[in-house]
């Protein structure tokens, strides 16, 4: 929640959102840091915590487990430019495919090449964008599956994770031999036309996004750039998909044909594109996602704080660049901090950048370790200081003066307060003793001194032990007006004492806590 508008979420805000005391939150966060689910970052001005990619994965998996959609996670079966794909199992251990969207892994330059987008950059949250990408994929999967398109079965989506059916096949790029290339060619072209008839264009119809089953049927596994047939550049995208298939079959299986679909020949039957508008993936989400692709900045989550602010380099004309080349530039291990968005694609520069990344990572790790040590040291120092102050204050307290009170070990602040109260109480006891003495004398004068004397003594004794107690008198006596006044003021003092000790109700404390939280959230609102 905090990361909606904070790159690093400050501790007070986390505590306010969680509704947990700051100390407990700090302890929990330090545990999470140990497991690399959150990371602590310190900059010149602010410090705070951010959710890591792993932390976000855990959140999504936790939700999917609670819904009993996912019961297990297995090996990684694929690494896309913008995703990690794992095999998984449901609670009955049936196979599933878990696709974790990771917008931000791919560099700006590569996104631009793929997406035909350019324009200026602006910060975008990788959490939000990954979530949007997942929502979009799930909405498309569902719509296409409902229309009997050959796509994996959509099962569920949570945050940035899409759960779908596992396809037991090979991606076309891994197929070295097929029985009948002409049949494959026809199948692929038929699929492009079928999409067109439903008002859609794949936009990235290539051998990396298509899988082949054992019986040579084709399954579309990825369609991140699907556009409507009404798109202003629809014809361009359509022709590009067709050409992509022609090139691939020619290159890989040495088959060529002049028979291929043309954009104007496609007869539109249904409007799946407009149906998709009404799906879970709203227009606003589409706009946000496209804007992010346009602006190309997915670096909000990068580990290194000195992220290069790259410029706008290549244009959309480079889109047809061989996919293989791009894959060579990928660094799968370095899964969340690619920042090589320069227009220059020189291999040497890329290797140098990777080395720098490794150095930065090491540096960062040592920094984090030293921070943790400092924190631990800081804590023990604080404890030692507190202990020595408390000891010295305790030694100042004269236990005899407590006059029978249990000499408990108190916090230094309580000791101070006790001392203040004691002074007030002594004054009060003294005043009361005087009053009782006078009263006693008056009683003696009136001849009623017998049992009353004993009573008074007992009363004074108990008052000196336990503080203010009500004054009792068993005999009838005439009390002078001055004495009445004094007693009234003593009573008032006692009531004041009682009011000070009054504990506020639980409800009041809850309300106060909520109010404080609201104020903290307000205070940090919009701070990035
Ligand atoms: N449903 C699935 N069943 C089996 N394997 C899958 C499935 N979905 C994806 N994969 C595997 O994961 C790999 C990457 O998936 P996908 O192409 O969807 O990721 P991506 O990040 O969108 O990739 P890119 O943008 O590079 O095409 C695929 O090449 C494929 O091997």
pLDDT exceeding 90 applies to what percent of the chain?
Answer: 33
Atom nearest to 167 CA in ligand 1: 3
Atom nearest to 165 CA in ligand 1: 1
Q: What is the distance between the alpha carbons of residues 412 and 471, in angstroms, rounded to a whole number?
A: 33
Q: What is the distance between the alpha carbons of residues 63 and 19, in angstroms, rounded to a whole number?
A: 21
What pLDDT shows up at residue 384? 66
Atom nearest to 224 CA in ligand 1: 22
Model confidence pLDDT, tens digit, residues 369-384: 656 655 655 555 666 6
Per-residue pLDDT at 460 exceeds 60: no
Choice among 46-55, 198-207, 463-472 with the minimum mean pLDDT: 463-472
Report CA(60)–ligand 1 centroid distance (Å). 19
Per-residue pLDDT at 110 exceeds 80: no
What pLDDT shows up at residue 362? 55
Model confidence pLDDT, tens digit, residues 179-210: 899 999 999 999 999 999 999 999 989 999 99
Higher pLDDT, 333 or 70: 70
Q: What is the distance between the alpha carbons of residues 178 and 255, in angstroms, rounded to a whole number?
A: 11
Q: What is the distance between the alpha carbons of residues 290 and 244, in angstroms, rounded to a whole number?
A: 23
Ligand 1, pocket residues at CB < 6 Å: 77-78, 80-83, 85, 97, 99, 152, 164, 166-167, 171, 208-209, 221-222, 224
Strand runs labelled E in 406-493: none
Using pLDDT thresholds of 50, 70 and 90, give the confidence band for residue 261: very high
What pLDDT shows up at residue 514? 83
What pLDDT shows up at residue 186? 94
Q: How many whole angstroms from its chain centre is CA 452?
A: 73
Higher pLDDT, 459 or 478: 478
Per-residue pLDDT at 270 exceeds 60: yes
294 with 119: CB under 8 angstroms?
Answer: yes
Residue of 57, 204, 222, 273 marked catalytic = 204
In testing the pocket of ligand 1, which one of 84, 137, 211 has its CB within 8 Å of the most ligand atoms? Answer: 211
410 with 418: CB under 8 angstroms?
Answer: yes
Query: At a CB cut-off of 8 Å and minimum separation 6, what does 323 contact?
Result: 206, 208
What pLDDT shows up at residue 197? 93
Report CA(84)–ligand 1 centroid distance (Å). 8
What pLDDT shows up at residue 68? 94
Report CA(79)–ligand 1 centroid distance (Å). 7
Q: Any idea what the Cα angle at residue 63 is, between residues 57 and 68, rounded to 5°?
A: 120
Choice among 33-37, 154-158, 260-264, 390-394 with the minimum mean pLDDT: 390-394
What's the mean pLDDT in 430-450? 69
The DSSP-derived string for 11-44 is HHHHHHHHTS-HHHHHHHHHHHHHTTSEEEEE-S
Q: Any idea what the Cα angle at residue 290 is, between residues 287 and 294, rounded to 5°?
A: 130
What pLDDT shows up at residue 283? 64
Tally of helices (H runs) and strands (E runs) in the chain: 15, 12
Alpha carbon nearest to ligand 1 atom 10, residue: 78
What's the mean pLDDT in 407-426? 65
- Longest Cα pair distance anywhere in the chain, in angstroms? 134
Q: Look at phi and psi of residue 116 and say left if phi exceeds 0, alpha if psi is from -120 to 50, else beta.
A: left
Higher pLDDT, 323 or 365: 365
Q: Helix or strand or coil: residue 408?
A: coil
Higher pLDDT, 90 or 412: 90
Report CA(98)–ligand 1 centroid distance (Å). 10
What pLDDT shows up at residue 311? 36
Range from 172-186, 331-345, 351-365 that averages highest in pLDDT: 172-186
Residue located via tokens 């932390």 = 55
At how many degrees (to 10) do helices 234-253 and 181-197 cross? 170
What pLDDT shows up at residue 456? 52
Q: What is the distance between the alpha carbons of residues 432 and 441, in angstroms, rounded to a whole number?
A: 14
Report CA(485)–ligand 1 centroid distance (Å). 90
pLDDT exceeding 70 applies to what percent of the chain?
Answer: 60
211 with 172: CB under 8 angstroms?
Answer: yes
Higher pLDDT, 501 or 157: 157
Residue located via tokens 């890989």 = 252
CA-CA-CA-CA dihedral for 51, 57, 58, 64, to nearest 10: 140
Task: Name all domains of the chain by residue range, CATH numbers in brackets.
Answer: 1-51 (1.10.10.10), 54-110+123-166 (3.30.200.20), 170-267 (1.10.510.10)
Range from 166-175, 264-273, 403-412 that averages highest in pLDDT: 166-175
The DSSP-derived string for 185-211 is HHHHHHHHHHHHHTTEE-S--STTSEE
What's the mean pLDDT in 251-276? 86
Tokens linked to 158: 């949570």
Atom nearest to 85 CA in ligand 1: 12
In testing the pocket of ligand 1, which one of 110, 221, 331 has its CB within 8 Å of the most ligand atoms? Answer: 221
Report CA(210)–ligand 1 centroid distance (Å). 9
What pLDDT shows up at residue 279? 54
Residue 204 among the catalytic residues:
yes
Per-residue pLDDT at 340 exceeds 90: no
Q: CA-CA distances (angstroms) from residue 171 to 77, 209, 328, 335, 400? A: 11, 7, 18, 22, 87
Nearest Cα residue to 292 out of 141, 106, 80, 55? 106
Choice among 80-89, 100-109, 217-226 with the minimum mean pLDDT: 100-109
Higher pLDDT, 143 or 399: 143
Q: What is the distance between the alpha carbons of residues 438 and 425, in angstroms, rounded to a whole number?
A: 20
Q: What is the distance between the alpha carbons of residues 137 and 112, in angstroms, rounded to a whole number?
A: 20
Per-residue pLDDT at 355 exceeds 50: no
- The whole-chain average pLDDT of the chain stands at 73
Higher pLDDT, 261 or 447: 261
Per-residue pLDDT at 496 exceeds 60: yes
Q: What is the distance between the alpha carbons of residues 266 and 199, in angstroms, rounded to a whole number?
A: 9
Model confidence pLDDT, tens digit, residues 113-135: 443 322 333 444 778 888 888 98
Residue located via tokens 């009838």 = 476
What pLDDT shows up at residue 411? 58
Atom nearest to 170 CA in ligand 1: 31
Higher pLDDT, 387 or 69: 69
Using pLDDT thresholds of 50, 70 and 90, give the confidence band for residue 451: low
H/E segment holding residue 74: strand 72-79
Nearest Cα residue to 209 out of 268, 267, 151, 154? 151
What pLDDT shows up at residue 441? 77
In residues, how long is the chain? 528
ipTM of the complex, rounded to two decimals:
0.95
What pLDDT shows up at residue 410? 53
Model confidence pLDDT, tens digit, residues 213-222: 988 899 999 8
Contacts for 329-336 with beta carbons within 8 Å, 24 or more apart? 329/110, 330/79, 330/81, 332/79, 335/53, 335/84, 335/102, 335/105, 336/53, 336/102, 336/104, 336/105, 336/126, 336/301, 336/302, 336/303
Model confidence pLDDT, tens digit, residues 281-332: 666 666 666 666 665 544 433 333 333 333 333 333 333 333 333 333 333 3
DSSP state, residue 9 = B
Tokens linked to 214: 């054992």
What's the mean pLDDT in 488-502? 75
Higher pLDDT, 335 or 54: 54
């Amino acid at each position: 929640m905090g990361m909606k508008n904070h790159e690093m979420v400050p501790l007070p805000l986390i505590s306010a959102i969680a509704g947990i005391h700051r100390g407990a939150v700090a302890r929990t966060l330090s545990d999470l840091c140990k497991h690399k689910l959150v990371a602590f970052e310190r900059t010149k001005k602010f410090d705070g915590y951010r959710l890591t990619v792993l932390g976000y994965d855990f959140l999504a998996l936790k939700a999917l487990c609670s819904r009993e959609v996912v019961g297990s996670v297995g090996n990684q079966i694929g690494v896309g430019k913008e995703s990690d794909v794992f095999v998984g199992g449901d609670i009955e251990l049936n196979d599933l495919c878990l696709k974790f969207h990771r917008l931000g892994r791919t560099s700006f330059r590569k996104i631009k090449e793929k997406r035909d987008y350019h324009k200026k950059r602006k910060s975008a949250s990788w959490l939000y964008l990954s979530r949007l990408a997942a929502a979009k994929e799930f909405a498309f999967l569902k719509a296409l599956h409902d229309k009997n398109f050959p796509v994996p079965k959509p099962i569920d989506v949570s945050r940035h994770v899409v759960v779908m059916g596992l396809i037991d096949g090979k991606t076309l790029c891994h197929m070295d031999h097929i029985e009948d290339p002409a049949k494959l060619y026809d199948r692929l072209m038929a699929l492009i036309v079928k999409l067109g008839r439903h008002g859609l264009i794949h936009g990235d119809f290539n051998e990396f996004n298509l899988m082949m089953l054992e019986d040579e049927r084709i399954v579309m596994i990825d369609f991140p750039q699907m556009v409507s047939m009404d798109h202003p550049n629809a014809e361009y995208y359509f022709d590009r998909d067709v050409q992509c298939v022609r090139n691939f079959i020619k290159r890989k299986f040495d088959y060529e044909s002049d028979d291929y679909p043309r954009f104007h020949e496609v007869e539109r039957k249904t409007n799946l594109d407009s149906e998709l508008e009404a799906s879970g993936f709203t227009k606003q989400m589409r706009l946000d996602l496209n804007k992010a692709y346009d602006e190309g900045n997915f670096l909000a989550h990068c580990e290194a704080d000195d992220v290069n602010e790259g410029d706008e380099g290549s244009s959309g004309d480079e889109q047809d660049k061989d996919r293989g080349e791009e894959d060579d530039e990928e660094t799968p291990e370095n899964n969340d901090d690619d920042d090589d968005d320069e227009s220059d694609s020189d291999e040497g520069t890329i290797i140098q950048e990777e080395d720098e990344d490794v150095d930065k990572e090491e540096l960062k790790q040592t920094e984090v370790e030293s921070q943790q040590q400092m924190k631990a040291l800081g804590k023990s120092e604080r404890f030692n200081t507190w202990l020595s102050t408390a000891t010295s204050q305790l030694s100042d307290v004269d236990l005899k003066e407590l006059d029978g009170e249990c000499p408990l070990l108190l916090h230094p602040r309580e000791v101070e307060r006790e001392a203040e109260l004691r002074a007030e109480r002594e004054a009060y006891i003294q005043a009361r003793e005087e009053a009782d003495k006078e009263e006693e004398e008056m009683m003696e004068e009136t001849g009623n001194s017998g049992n009353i004397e004993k009573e008074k003594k007992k009363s004074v004794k108990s008052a000196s032990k336990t503080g203010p107690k009500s004054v009792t008198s068993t005999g009838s006596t005439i009390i002078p007006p001055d004495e009445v006044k004094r007693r009234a003021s003593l009573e008032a003092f006692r009531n004041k004492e009682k009011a000070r000790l009054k504990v506020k109700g639980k409800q009041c404390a809850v309300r106060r806590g909520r109010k404080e939280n609201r104020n903290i959230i307000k205070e940090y609102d919009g701070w990035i």
